Chains A and B, each alone.
Chain A
Amino acid sequence: MLLKLNNLSKWVQSGGQKVFLLKDISFWVNEGDFISIMGPSGSGKSTLLNVIGMLDDFNEGEYAFLDERVHNLKEKHRANLYKQYIGFVFQSYHLIDELTVKENLEMPLLYKKHGSSERKALVADMLDRFNIVGKKDLFPAQLSGGQQQLVGIARALIANPKLILADEPTGNLNSKQGEEIMDIFTQLNKEGVTIIQVTHSEKNMTYGSRVINLLDGSIV
């Protein structure tokens, strides 16, 4: 089992009352799963994803990742954990505008203390694998949306994570580009990478092996 959530809740205080963002969430993810989280706007999909990615806190319940009890971990350990095992893909790509494709890909490695030649080799691998060698010296603004998301995925993959968290990865793309991205996810999943995606689209949902439906913070 890769991760397990047990009765997890998250709320904010508003006007003296608890407003639940997530309520009593329990599920588990095995290695090699491809899970889609579905639900209408405001149902807590992204919040759940952020909690899984350890970018966000929760108030109650338990969360175990690779047998580490995340809710008991200090900030520093938690950061080490997600740094090592989790890659993120965002709807609006979040590439750094001032860096070229190559430099964007290199960045996660810089924070993991890889040697210079090793970084070069890994970046070259990724550029090759996603067929973007020719774009390596371009800046994000010079790429189409689909190409930017490709770089985003490459960046998430470069540190060889066990889990990829994708928050509406095709939300800003047209359908053709979206299909290409989803094909890549399928391919990755076949290679053994666990994927959790948040999506609105019924079509994208079909790529996944399991669906979790959220409504007002609870699983339905």
Chain B
Amino acid sequence: MFKNYIIITWRNLLKNKLFSFINIFGLSMGLATCLLLTLYIMDEMRYDKHHVNSDRIYRVAMEALDDQIATVSAPMGQGLKDNYPEIEEAARMLKFPNIDKFLLKNNNENKQFYVNHTYYADSTFFKILTYDFTYGDSQTALSQPNTIVLSEEVSKKLFGDINPINKVIEIEIPYAKNKYTVKGVFKNKYRSHINGNVFLSMKNSDMGQWIDQQKNWSTNNLFHTYIKLKQGSNAAQLEAKFPEFVEKFIAPDISTPGLEKKLFLQPLESIYLTSDIQWEISKNGSMTYIYIFSAIALFLLLIACINFMNLSTARSEKRAKEVGMRKVLGAKREMLIIQFLGESMVLCMLSLAIAIALVFILLPTFNTFVDKDLTLLEYPNIIFWILGFALLTGLLSGLYPAFYLSSFAPITTLKGKLMNTFSATVVRKGLVVFQFTVSAALILVAGMIWQQMEFLQNKDLGFKKEQQIVLPLRSAEVEGKYETLKTELLKNPNIVSATAGDTYPGFEMLSDNSFYAEDKTPEEHVWTHFARSQEDYIKTLGYTLLYGRTFSKNKHKDSLGIILNEMAVKNLGYAPEKAVGRKIYYEWDKEKFHLEIIGVIKDFNYKSLHEPITPYGVLRLNNNQANYFIANIRDGADYQKTIADIKTIWQKINPESPFEYSFLDQDFDSNYIAEKQTSKVVFSFMFVAIFIACIGLFGLASFSTEQRKKEVGIRRVLGASVLGITSMHIKDFLKLVLLAMVLASPLAYYLGYKWLENFAYKIEISWWLFASSAGVAIFIACITVGSQVIKAALANPVNSLRTE
């Protein structure tokens, strides 16, 4: 019996090659996209699940001024542990502010290079968090001063394949140069929101002293603090005790009046997907994108299944005789259901094989889209997912046809009188509408995303984003030579202007403070972010100076001067035109200090367009501790040559430090990486969706024309024109497509609106987007259906009538 089913399935496949192809190829596209997105989602869901007892590990985070911050002050970790016995262990990790890369040197082999994601960690760090050590003991690795733990990649780069334990390397940061002993090497095989490549001990010659001095509970909130609870302790109960802790320890150290702070716990496992607060270690994932991608995956699979259902039921007439005969020969309905379900399962398995091949082909491209390194068999349990998908698809797409086909009464089918019943036609049309609704919604959302991305790229931010080259100043050698570097570079005619600062637009601002104006009380303060800069900062970055002046060449003259943006000035209570020369105040350790406004600049977007403009200022650096050298390149300059020139000068001045550079506009746009990924994914899957829906429509159109062959013949004999017949057929399908547009519009509007809510600056959703999307959908549908219909209309009516 089983063999008989297989034979029938196979011969039917071969008999209708076009429809088999549509079915199988459509399904494999759906399955392949589903698999790709599942790989992505599984990878995202895997973060921080590997830690031993991960359900007992939490990060301590803070809330102040409506902002949530992932870091707390230095004494917090130990303080919490001392006060609450339910905490088994606490560990701090410090991401050094504004230094994104450390220079690592193996002097014996003369190897040196920059490494990012380099963090200081307490000796207890590896007791709480699980890392897979290849060499060394994780429990004691950081217990000695001046010790270091490396990832396998870094270790390989420094030492090759040998065991590097107890070897000594040198690490250079702008402030210091120090020797560290390697005490551990870990495999980078787990996914974690802590993306460290190198961990340095907290107690060491460069930072150790400074960290030990941090006794204040409220300032320098720089420490990512992790705690592990004892077995059986309850995190919520612990959290409930925090207000009292804050009252006792933190409140006395808060210098800004009226400022309240709160502590809360974040479960380790959910940090990566759910936490998006200030001072994350690096950009986290997002549940929203998991939802978006899951929805796309599901809908694409549904669209492909619908093709299958539609084509199977549309073809029912051809199978009806078989059904009737089988019933006459004694088949029960259940047997027929099993037969047809089995058929769809076989088709699904075939599609699955093709889908897996497609995944292999498409995975590299997909990886570049989502910036990941996925491989098909990275997780063994993907096999269950794959089989699950295939079975689900088989069931989904086979169930309706199976019940529909097996329901025919034998005598009607044998008389050949089976017409497509009204309900079957309605279901089929409904499914087509659903397919096109999904496709149209994807077209619309993709359009909105595209418009917003264009807007982000092209909006005038109020400063000069283009033609700025940024040179990170990461070593002590480089920092001391700022003036020399600047003088030498400005001799190059392609460099218009140059400066240095501790930050530049698009970067998270580390420094902020609360200021208040003359005649105001400390309660009426204005939180202001600020950058510290050398001279020419305003000029080089192209900020618009409205009133006053910029910094002078003399460092010390302007050490109390500040340049504020209009918003800061207005919020403080000054009129911008009269603000120059006025004083602003702040408090530090209960003492009052002041600064003087020397200039007012026009508001501009110093943060990504996700966020609105807030009060901002620029201070004068009184030493050489700038992190970035910024040079403005002349319009029309030859970039390649200019960069080569800069490199030559750099290497002459800083022979010990490798040359690295970036472009400010690219750095700024890196704030939109998540959006760019989404737009690429949405765009490519929009095309897949349209493609699948179109081949479905094509198949259906060719069946409907086949069915109406006789009608077309009669109409032609009676004098209908080819054009008339064509438009009559197309109209049927256009109605469905238009209905789909009507359904898709509000859906897409809602989704687009939700997505745009992420931005403080955004496009208006315009009516012409809907109009043009409708145009595209109609055009595609017309082409798909038209090709079939015209063929039927042009056929000689005698032939079609003779078939009777």
With contact pairs A90-B414, A106-B4, A107-B4 given, residues A96 and B330 touching in the complex (Cβ less than 8 Å): no
| Pairwise interchain contact A110-B11, C-beta atoms closer than 8 A | no
| Pairwise interchain contact A110-B332, C-beta atoms closer than 8 A | no
B476 to chain A, nearest CB (A): 82
In the complex, B411 has a CB within 8 A of chain A: yes
With contact pairs A94-B325, A103-B7, A106-B4 given, residues A56 and B330 touching in the complex (Cβ less than 8 Å): no
| Pairwise interchain contact B15-A55, C-beta atoms closer than 8 A | no
Cβ-neighbour of A99 out of B7, B321, B328 (below 8 A): B7
Q: Mark B304-337, 1 if CB is under 8 A from A, else 0.
A: 0000000000000000011011101111100100
Cα(A55)–Cα(B409), bound, Å: 8
In the complex, B752 has a CB within 8 A of chain A: no
Cβ-neighbour of B335 out of A88, A90, A99, A111 (below 8 A): A111
How many A residues are at the interface, by size bracket? Answer: 20 to 34
Instruction: Return the 6 tightest CB-CB contacts between A and B, nearest first.
Output: A83-B330, A111-B330, A98-B11, A108-B329, A55-B411, A110-B1
Chain A residue, CB-CB nearest to B324: A94
With contact pairs A50-B411, A103-B4, A106-B4 given, residues A55 and B12 touching in the complex (Cβ less than 8 Å): no
- 25 A-B contacts (beta carbon < 8 Å): A55-B411, A56-B411, A76-B332, A83-B329, A94-B325, A96-B8, A96-B326, A97-B322, A98-B7, A98-B8, A98-B12, A98-B15, A98-B322, A99-B7, A99-B11, A103-B4, A103-B7, A106-B4, A107-B4, A107-B326, A111-B326, A111-B329, A111-B330, A112-B330, A155-B329
In the complex, A12 has a CB within 8 A of chain B: no
Main secondary structure, interface of B, reads helix
| Pairwise interchain contact A79-B411, C-beta atoms closer than 8 A | no
Chain A residue, CB-CB nearest to B411: A55
Q: For A106, what are the chain B residues with a Cβ–Cβ distance below 8 Å? A: 4
A90 to chain B, nearest CB (A): 7
Contacting B at CB under 8 A, from A87-107, are 88, 90, 94-99, 103, 106-107
In the complex, B410 has a CB within 8 A of chain A: yes
B514 to chain A, nearest CB (A): 82
| Pairwise interchain contact A79-B4, C-beta atoms closer than 8 A | no
| Pairwise interchain contact B411-A94, C-beta atoms closer than 8 A | no
| Pairwise interchain contact A79-B325, C-beta atoms closer than 8 A | no
A111-B330, A155-B329 are known; give 6 further A-B pairs, CB within 8 A.
A76-B332, A82-B330, A94-B414, A98-B7, A99-B11, A108-B329
Give residues in A with beta carbon < 8 Å to B. Answer: 50, 55-56, 76, 79, 82-83, 88, 90, 94-99, 103, 106-108, 110-112, 155
Q: For A97, what are the chain B residues with a Cβ–Cβ distance below 8 Å? A: 322
Cα(A143)–Cα(B330), bound, Å: 25
Q: For B414, what are the chain A residues with a Cβ–Cβ distance below 8 Å? A: 90, 94
With contact pairs A94-B324, A94-B414, A96-B322 given, residues A79 and B330 touching in the complex (Cβ less than 8 Å): yes
Give residues in B with beta carbon < 8 Å to A. Answer: 1, 4, 7-8, 11-12, 15, 321-322, 324-326, 328-332, 335, 410-411, 414
Q: For A94, what are the chain B residues with a Cβ–Cβ distance below 8 Å? A: 321, 324-325, 328, 414
Cα(A112)–Cα(B324), bound, Å: 17
With contact pairs A55-B411, A94-B414, A99-B7 given, residues A111 and B331 touching in the complex (Cβ less than 8 Å): yes
Chain A residue, CB-CB nearest to B1: A110
Chain B residue, CB-CB nearest to A98: B11
| Pairwise interchain contact A55-B410, C-beta atoms closer than 8 A | yes
With contact pairs A94-B321, A94-B414, A98-B12 given, residues A55 and B328 touching in the complex (Cβ less than 8 Å): yes
Cα(A79)–Cα(B409), bound, Å: 13
Cα(A76)–Cα(B1), bound, Å: 21
Q: For B411, what are the chain A residues with a Cβ–Cβ distance below 8 Å? A: 50, 55-56
A62 to chain B, nearest CB (A): 21
Q: For B11, what are the chain A residues with a Cβ–Cβ distance below 8 Å? A: 98-99
A139 to chain B, nearest CB (A): 9
B256 to chain A, nearest CB (A): 83
Q: For B332, what are the chain A residues with a Cβ–Cβ distance below 8 Å? A: 76, 79, 111
Q: For A88, what are the chain B residues with a Cβ–Cβ distance below 8 Å? A: 328
Cβ-neighbour of B325 out of A76, A96, A110, A112 (below 8 A): A96
Chain A residue, CB-CB nearest to B328: A88
A157 to chain B, nearest CB (A): 12
Cα(A111)–Cα(B335), bound, Å: 9
Cα(A135)–Cα(B545), bound, Å: 97
With contact pairs A94-B321, A96-B322 given, residues A107 and B329 touching in the complex (Cβ less than 8 Å): yes
Q: For A110, what are the chain B residues with a Cβ–Cβ distance below 8 Å? A: 1, 4
Cα(A137)–Cα(B733), bound, Å: 43
Chain B residue, CB-CB nearest to A91: B414
Chain B residue, CB-CB nearest to A90: B414
A154 to chain B, nearest CB (A): 13
| Pairwise interchain contact A108-B330, C-beta atoms closer than 8 A | yes
Q: For A108, what are the chain B residues with a Cβ–Cβ distance below 8 Å? A: 329-330
| Pairwise interchain contact B410-A99, C-beta atoms closer than 8 A | no
Q: For A55, what are the chain B residues with a Cβ–Cβ distance below 8 Å? A: 328, 410-411
Chain A residue, CB-CB nearest to B335: A111
B437 to chain A, nearest CB (A): 36
Q: For A155, what are the chain B residues with a Cβ–Cβ distance below 8 Å? A: 329
| Pairwise interchain contact A99-B8, C-beta atoms closer than 8 A | yes
A141 to chain B, nearest CB (A): 11
Q: For A98, what are the chain B residues with a Cβ–Cβ distance below 8 Å? A: 7-8, 11-12, 15, 322
Chain B residue, CB-CB nearest to A86: B328
B430 to chain A, nearest CB (A): 30
Cα(A88)–Cα(B7), bound, Å: 24
Cα(A108)–Cα(B331), bound, Å: 8
Q: For B321, what are the chain A residues with a Cβ–Cβ distance below 8 Å? A: 94, 96
Q: For A50, what are the chain B residues with a Cβ–Cβ distance below 8 Å? A: 411
A109 to chain B, nearest CB (A): 9
Residue picked from B15, B329, B335, most chain A C-beta under 10 Å: B329
Chain A residue, CB-CB nearest to B415: A46
Q: For B325, what are the chain A residues with a Cβ–Cβ distance below 8 Å? A: 94-96
B556 to chain A, nearest CB (A): 95
Q: For B329, what are the chain A residues with a Cβ–Cβ distance below 8 Å? A: 83, 107-108, 111, 155
B516 to chain A, nearest CB (A): 88
Chain B residue, CB-CB nearest to A95: B325
A73 to chain B, nearest CB (A): 15
B592 to chain A, nearest CB (A): 94
Cα(A108)–Cα(B326), bound, Å: 8
Cα(A64)–Cα(B471), bound, Å: 100
Cα(A155)–Cα(B411), bound, Å: 18
Cα(A139)–Cα(B230), bound, Å: 76
Q: For A112, what are the chain B residues with a Cβ–Cβ distance below 8 Å? A: 330
A128 to chain B, nearest CB (A): 21
Cα(A67)–Cα(B109), bound, Å: 103
B13 to chain A, nearest CB (A): 10
Q: For B12, what are the chain A residues with a Cβ–Cβ distance below 8 Å? A: 98
B223 to chain A, nearest CB (A): 73
Cα(A82)–Cα(B328), bound, Å: 8
Cα(A107)–Cα(B330), bound, Å: 9
Cα(A99)–Cα(B10), bound, Å: 11
Cα(A108)–Cα(B414), bound, Å: 17
A6 to chain B, nearest CB (A): 22
A22 to chain B, nearest CB (A): 14
Chain A residue, CB-CB nearest to B4: A110
Cα(A217)–Cα(B11), bound, Å: 42
Q: For A95, what are the chain B residues with a Cβ–Cβ distance below 8 Å? A: 325
Cα(A61)–Cα(B380), bound, Å: 66
B137 to chain A, nearest CB (A): 66
Cα(A118)–Cα(B690), bound, Å: 52
Cα(A88)–Cα(B414), bound, Å: 12
Cα(A143)–Cα(B4), bound, Å: 21
Cα(A106)–Cα(B335), bound, Å: 16
Q: For B328, what are the chain A residues with a Cβ–Cβ distance below 8 Å? A: 55, 88, 94
Cα(A136)–Cα(B329), bound, Å: 20
Q: For A111, what are the chain B residues with a Cβ–Cβ distance below 8 Å? A: 326, 329-332, 335
Chain A residue, CB-CB nearest to B11: A98
Q: For A79, what are the chain B residues with a Cβ–Cβ distance below 8 Å? A: 330, 332
Q: For B1, what are the chain A residues with a Cβ–Cβ distance below 8 Å? A: 110
Cα(A111)–Cα(B411), bound, Å: 19
Cα(A219)–Cα(B329), bound, Å: 29
